[in-house]
Amino acid sequence: MKNTFSFLISFHRPSDLMATKRRKDAQRKSPNSDSVFAFFCASSWLKTPSLVASAILALGFLTPALHAVPGVPGPAPKEAYLIPVKDNWEITISDKKSPNFGKEGALAENLMLIGLQGLANTDAPRVYIEYPETWHFHDFNPLKDFYISKYGVNFTRLATPDAALTALGHFAKGYVVWDRHVRTSINVALTAAGVLRGLVIDESLIPLAEKHGLKPLADFRGKFTGQTDMQIYTWAYDKYWKDCSRDYIIWMGGAGGNVMEPGVADLAIAFHAFVTDLSSNPKDKEEIAFQRKLLAQLKPTAWIMGWHPYSKDTEGQWITLTSGFGLKAIGLNTFPNGTFMSQIGFSPGFTMTNNNHVTRQSVVTAEKKVYICLVQSDSMGIGAWTQPERGQIPYNWEVGVDGAQWYPAAMEMFAKDKSPNDYFIGGQSGYMYPAAVPADRFPGLMKEMNARMPAMDQHTVGIMDHTDRGIPIGYFDLPKRVVDEYYAGAPDVIGFINGYAAAHTFDVRNGQAMMSYDYYLDEHRPVASAIADLDELMRLNPIRPYFMLIHVRESNSIKRVMSIINGLEEKPVLEPLDTFLKLAASSPTFKVRYKDEKPAGKAWDAQTQ
Amino acid sequence: MKIRFLSFACLLLSAGPSLHAADGPAKLAGTWGLDVARSTPIRPWDKESITVAVTGDTVVLTRHLAWGDDRKVSDTTTVKTDGKTPTANAIGYWLDTWYTNVYIGGDHQKHVKGEWLDDGRILKLETTLQLEAQQGDHPVHIYDEFRLSADGQTLKLYELRSTRDEPLVYLFTRQ
């Protein structure tokens, strides 16, 4: 899995300027002031021609205000609501040992609350969902306290769905019902709810919704019985696509079947996004064709948010397809509180800083030693950041370049908590495979990356390409043309790292090293085997200095990593990435290589099927 | 006494599944599935099997590795068991330590010599090849012994690699 938690919003789009103005207006209002404002507009607009004109102008602002305000960071609110969700994401309880086996799971209630968050947060950060400790983004758990202590946000807890609807029900114009027997109807309901501004519920929650004065906007019970996903999504396309965003689309993948973990449902509703989980598996030709039809209609700057469905396809298949349209993804479907985090910028006076050790111009000299650099990708949110051993050894964290826009407080929290041994790595905005990106789109990606990295004080670039997933070894290598594009597009960075699993793309030009991972540390690899692997690499690379870049899969504990390093036969020097890259460039003992152009012949076809 | 002992020995040889020089090599023939839990870790691969075919003094070992539903790969090793003739086998990828940046180098071939030991109970292989790592090609020698159990149902592979101090032990059961 690879996720960068990164978003793209062009800073130059006019809609963003409008969004900024809307934000300022919205920030002046209390969480409950929207309905008062709406009432004022509705009751006064017929009184005089000038008021009519004013009202039309006001409506002109209100209508686009329903789009894309999340993603425009601003000041924090003084007041916000806190809504807990339950630690169960099933449609129906499947635990046979549970006394509630076969009864309704908590998904329906949780989804309603996250959807309500999307409605309420469409134009201001009003609601923060309190996810259970087991939620995938566990590193974000302390964030709520950070909003309190650093930003001074006063959270009012809405402990029950009834309390949540009492406080926030007015943000819904009605409700949309999904069919408990047709899982895909949930995605259609989310799409409909974004367009119609509805509360997303199953039939069990209808009485609660109606108690709060809400009426049905759409009811999908029985609507899609017996239909395939293609039939269901085609119907949704015909019905709602014309009203859906071209800036965002939601992939509500991840877990399937009886389970859904809809962390991005708030973003779906706030953005009026089309919600789907179409397959990218080549065997699903119809779904791929339909997916292409959707992606082709998005804006070049659009974002795909969420994750692919594990039950249908693979990450590599999905990202290869989306990258072919030059579109970037943000993972995962469990990404929490996007509509809240992205509307609150850094705290006043805060500037993001990194632990920089060298500059692009620095001159360093490598000694005849083994240099090891430990990189944790997928780092912020789901990794080892919160472990007590952090700071004891140099560790490098791939954080991407988009955090300042989409989760600034989280970045601030992480950055303020960094130890002198923590170093942040940048890279292109979003998650995509560069080898699959159309050539005419690449310079724009580099320009955007270069514009964003200074704000994050990042000076090194991480690259990952997984387009050749069919080959058992070597599929994280870069063709020379892609390496050329990075060198041409990022002449001012200290250097580049490549891969996820190990790869053998290496280069050095103008003092910039491009190093691939020599090792992928699987969290399940026994310590003794990992030590033997690294010792063997040192024997296979006998020249010193030897530069060993290690990808530490995020599920590895730092304690475990230290035990592996301490067990090595030849004691290495651990370096932060910027220093590591400069040392490698100073003494390039590695062989310059790129992705193999696969030759015809038995030697290369002998093993692949 | 001597006659009685010889008779007892003959009885043992004829009654049990133990091996004779003549049929020993043939006993290795067949398909063997790896007992992953009792073997040196093969991750990320989930499954491994080896098919052994014996024809005269030629043995063909075909290894199948699988990872999830969509990643499968095989490699084939052909070897003369005269103990002296190296057989060149085309090889595309180094599959044995997936986590490392190690590729097949040199001529993309491994050169394998083989012989039977212990009356055909053990197949010994000696392999030389070039592995390509970050700094270029590096010569590697691999010593393998496939040892058949007395009941013919278990095959153990002991492997030593010149670049690795950790011995590798794989336990296969007959499929």
CB contact under 8 A, B134 and A604: no
pTM of structure: 0.80
Q: Given this model, what pLDDT does residue A402 score?
A: 84
* Nearest beta carbon to residue B98 from set A473, A539, A589: A473
φ/ψ of residue B41, rounded to 5:
-55, 140
- pLDDT exceeds cutoff 70 at B131: yes
Q: Given this model, what pLDDT does residue A74 score?
A: 82
> pLDDT by residue (tens digit) across A552-570?
988 899 999 999 999 999 9
- pLDDT exceeds cutoff 90 at B123: yes
Work out the end-to-end distance of chain A between its first and last CA atoms, rounded to an integer number of angstroms: 24
Q: Tally helices (H) and strands (E) across chain A.
A: 21, 20
Pair A104, A93: CB distance under 8 Å? yes
Q: Given this model, what pLDDT does residue A547 score?
A: 98
CB contact under 8 A, B90 and A606: yes
Rounded to whole angstroms, how far apart are CA atoms B164 and B172? 22
Structure tokens that stand for A119 in this block? 């409605």
Rounded to whole angstroms, how far apart are CA atoms A329 and A8? 9
* Cα A304 to chain centroid, rounded: 9
CB contact under 8 A, B100 and A501: no
Q: Given this model, what pLDDT does residue A17 score?
A: 32
Block means of pLDDT (10 residues each) for chain A, length 609 residues? 32 31 37 30 32 37 43 87 97 93 96 98 96 88 93 97 98 98 98 98 98 98 98 98 97 96 98 97 96 96 95 92 93 94 93 96 97 85 80 93 87 90 92 93 91 93 84 77 96 97 95 97 94 98 98 92 98 98 98 76 42
List CB contacts (< 8 A) between B91 and chain A.
Answer: 603, 606-607
Q: Given this model, what pLDDT does residue A54 score?
A: 38
Q: Largest alpha-carbon pair distance within chain B? A: 67
Residue of B nearest to A590 (CA): B135
CB contact under 8 A, A516 and B101: yes
Residue of A nearest to B43 (CA): A525
Q: Given this model, what pLDDT does residue A384 score?
A: 82
3-state SS class at A465: coil
CB contact under 8 A, B98 and A602: no
> pLDDT by residue (tens digit) across A212-228?
999 999 999 999 999 99
CB contact under 8 A, A501 and B98: yes
Q: Given this model, what pLDDT does residue A598 score?
A: 59
Q: Given this model, what pLDDT does residue A483 score?
A: 97
φ/ψ of residue A139, rounded to 5:
-65, -20
Q: Given this model, what pLDDT does residue A65 score?
A: 37
Q: How far is A423 from chain B (nearest CA, A)?
A: 24
> pLDDT by residue (tens digit) across A261-304?
999 999 999 999 999 999 999 999 999 999 999 999 999 989 99
Q: What is the DSSP string of A301-364?
A: T-EEEEEEETTT--HHHHHHHHHTTT-EEE--TT---HHHHTTB-SPTT----------TT---
Rounded to whole angstroms, how far apart are CA atoms A79 and A101? 39
> pLDDT by residue (tens digit) across A155-184?
999 999 999 999 999 999 999 999 999 999
CB contact under 8 A, B73 and A472: yes
Chain A and chain B share a number of CB contacts under 8 A equal to 125
- Which one of A540, A550, A597 would you mutate to disrupt binding with B, by most B Cβ within 10 Å of its Cβ? A540
